[in-house]
Amino acid sequence: MKSKLTWIFLVFAVGWLLIIQPPLPPRIGQIDFPAYWSASYLLAHGENFGDPGRLFQAEKTLTTWPEDYPMLTWNPPWLLTMLIPYTWVSFDRATWWWLLTNITLIFISAVVLWQMSAANERTRRLALFAPLVAFAYSPTLATLIAGQVNVIVLAGLTGFLFFSTKRQHGRAGIALALTLVKIHLVYITIPLLLLRALREHRWRMLAGFFGTLAVLSSVVFVLRPTFLFEYNATVSGGGLLDYMTPTAGGILALLFGWNGFKLMGLVILPLGLWIGWRASSVQVSMLVDATLLASVITAPFCWSYDFVILLVPLIPIIVSLVKEELTQADASMIGAILLCADAVMFYQRVTTPGEEYFFWVPWLITGLFVWVRIRRGQMKYA
């Protein structure tokens, strides 16, 4: 009876949240979302979502886009398939729904990541603090304010890890396919996981992954049969490499004046696949953490709010501080570093307009990731 009442309460709560449309502060959830919503709206009506002129018209007449130029979306078209339901309502209501969606996905992802990293019941009970950690993380708030779609990548990676531990490989493949809405952020992780699935004959995972892509792409094809040519034209003429981004390639391009550094992934990817193929005994969770950090650092482009996906390796680091796998001195030091780093990110977010000033964030998390791994090994064999 208690369980039924809980579900009834949840249904009414969700319904109430969807129906209400509270006034939000200006631009909250509406910085990047107009481009995603407008492109999805055009696709839903069978129009060319890559046409800058038509996209600009939709953004100016149907959304709150304030600029005098169109904001293009270079994400793979299957993202637009996922967002089509949000075009069935007005843009203002869709913004509210997308904000709720992002908050929910971040909340669930944080709790699941914490529980998967917990070694005992006491640590698992502390999973209630995981959402506090996630929402106190500066890139999370930046993502919510922007109305970004990178939370889908976070949820996809979390779902993949969760279903993999449950040996539900078909569902793991479906979750993994969701990460391709921002494929450049997982450009090492995805090929390596697919190669491992092939090597271990995990056919259900591969079927789930490619089946999901096929379904999403089929919807785009039915609505806009010429989308491949139009999407290729959009990406080819978008000048993505011209933007200053907080990646290794972006910093090198800034220092030496050559955008070719941003394509370092052409060298990093085969090297990463070779290393990952040889390290066949490495746990899937560690493989995801390591390759995700490498992907973000060496991506051709990404933004500082995309660092929200680094909650995947970051939350296990924080869990290690409370499950007594490190010395008290190490745990205190890492905790202090994380608090100071988050404070610096908030300060930079307020005072610094340039994305390049956030380049240090994934490097710091990588350093802490390696430090925790080394110290845990030393504690284990001490």
Query: Tens digits of per-residue pLDDT, 138-170?
Result: 999 999 999 999 999 999 999 999 999 999 999
| Own/partner long-range contacts of 8-13 (Cβ < 8 Å, ≥24 apart) | none
Q: Which residue ranges of the chain lie beneath pLDDT 50?
A: 381-382
Supply 340's token pair: 């100071």
pTM: 0.94
- How far is the CA of 375 from the CAs of 114, 311, 320, 355, in angstroms? 20, 21, 10, 32
Residue type at 63? Answer: T
C-alpha 345/C-alpha 348 separation (Å) is 5
| Burial tier of 231 (Cβ tally within 10 Å: 0-12, 13-18, 19+) | buried
C-alpha 335/C-alpha 170 separation (Å) is 37
Given CA atoms 373, 376, 380, 381 in this order, what sign does their dihedral have?
Answer: positive
**Domain ranges within the chain, ordered by starting residue:** 23-380
SS3 of residue 74 by DSSP = coil
Contact 335, 321 (CB under 8 A): yes
Q: Which residue has the tokens 């307009």?
A: 353
35 contact partners, CB below 8 Å, separation of at least 6: 55, 59, 65, 70, 71, 72, 73
pLDDT, tens only, 76-127: 999 999 999 999 999 999 999 999 999 999 999 999 999 998 877 778 888 8
pLDDT at 323: 72
Contact 304, 358 (CB under 8 A): yes
